[in-house]
Amino acid sequence: YEGPAGSYWVMVAVEAVDRQVLLYRSDDLTQWTFLSSYGPARAVDGVWECPDLFPLAVDGDPSDVRWVLLISLNPGGIAGGSGTQYVIGRFDGVTFTADSEASDADIDWLDFGRDCYAGVTFDGLAREERTLIAWMSNWDYARYLPFAENVLQHGMMTLPRRLSLVRAEGPNRSEGRIRLRQHPIVGALGPETVRDSAGVEARVTLIEQLPDAGRIVVRVDTQEASGFAVRLRCDASGEGGIVLSYDRGARRLSLDRRAGSEDLHEFPSIEVMPVAGGHQVELVIWLDRASVEVFADGGTRVLTDLIAPQSGAALAVEGIGGTVRIERIAVAAATVSATQVD
């Protein structure tokens, strides 16, 4: 910490069962003095662990800096089992104080899937390069998952994610809710395969061969339809696979990963994530052989799930309650699959 209170080390710890974050100060990393505590507050249905505390500028404005407190908890996550909440506030070198614009009933979740847990950020990077990586699993079933080549792994990690703070869009942007935005940091991608300018009502296969791992950008105008569905790793006729659905009326995105996972302990599930809504929706999907990470609303909403390996390799889209317009689907292969990284 470097600020009005001085320059010194701050240790962020937790009393897990008491749901409290404890802050300590040291000038030499040997002798520590208690500063203050935060909590219990917000999500408290499980033990707290893996805290992190760091500053970020709001919309890149160095005159408006807030502090982000990450707290992982298990159980009690938004999708069941393991999960991570974040709290935005101010830190004066002694006390962390949550922003007053959010009450204890307003819980901000780092990720709405079941498999993004215990994420912390790297030290030594510039403030605008704050980067997080998390464990891609859930304590509800981690020990039951099969372990073999090309099958679900116990130790997979999420993509590294560059973090920033942005104000949510609204009638008056200066009064919008501040949210954490996540942007994947990935190496080189192969050339894109693009499909666009197509009206779809019934299920249509648009990409016949998805890569083992890569990025899929989906931009759809729902027009008068109530939503749309994207099937990942389905067969050539558009059947099966992992289903990602958008409900315009409910302003909700859901991920159905039940395909191929019926025999896995507590694994089959459907995850739900609120989104800003509207007619036009853009999703950035990072797909690997046994995982999917979905970024919506410009990265302020994220959903991460492990998936059971699928027999199909295609991508299909269908309108729900009417015809939708495919403005763009772009698929680019990653040069290295996440399951191949040591």
- The model's pLDDT over 143-176, given as tens digits with 9 standing for 90+, comes to 888 766 556 666 789 999 999 999 976 544 445 7
pLDDT tens for 260-281 read 998 888 899 999 999 999 999 9
Beta bridge partners of 220: 281, 326
The predicted pLDDT at position 149 comes to: 57
Q: 54: closest CA among 180, 173, 183?
A: 180
- List the one residue out of 92, 43, 42, 276 whose CA is nearest residue 167: 276
Q: What is the pLDDT of residue 5?
A: 86
What CA–CA distances, in Å, run from 90 to 53, 101, 174, 184, 225?
A: 10, 12, 18, 26, 43
Which has more pLDDT, 192 or 341?
A: 192
pTM of the model: 0.93
Is a pLDDT exceeding 70 seen at residue 224?
yes
pLDDT, tens only, 52-102:
999 999 999 999 999 999 999 999 999 999 999 999 999 999 999 999 766
Residue among 53, 86, 85 nearest 67 (CA): 53
Segment 325-337 shows an average pLDDT of 88
Q: Which among 4, 6, 9 has a CA at the least distance from the CA of 27?
A: 9
Most confidently predicted of 155-159, 203-207, 229-233: 229-233
Q: Tell me: the pLDDT tens digits for 106-127?
A: 899 999 999 999 999 998 899 8
- Type of residue at 173: R
Side by side, which strands form the sheet with 270-274? 204-207, 314-320, 227-234, 242-247, 252-256, 270-274
C-alpha torsion sign, points 183, 279, 112, 190:
negative
CA 295, 301, 304, 310 dihedral sign is negative
Is 149 exposed, middle or buried, given 0-12, 13-18 or 19+ CB atoms closer than 10 A? exposed
Q: Burial of 75 by CB count in 10 Å (0-12 exposed, 13-18 middle, 19+ buried)?
A: middle
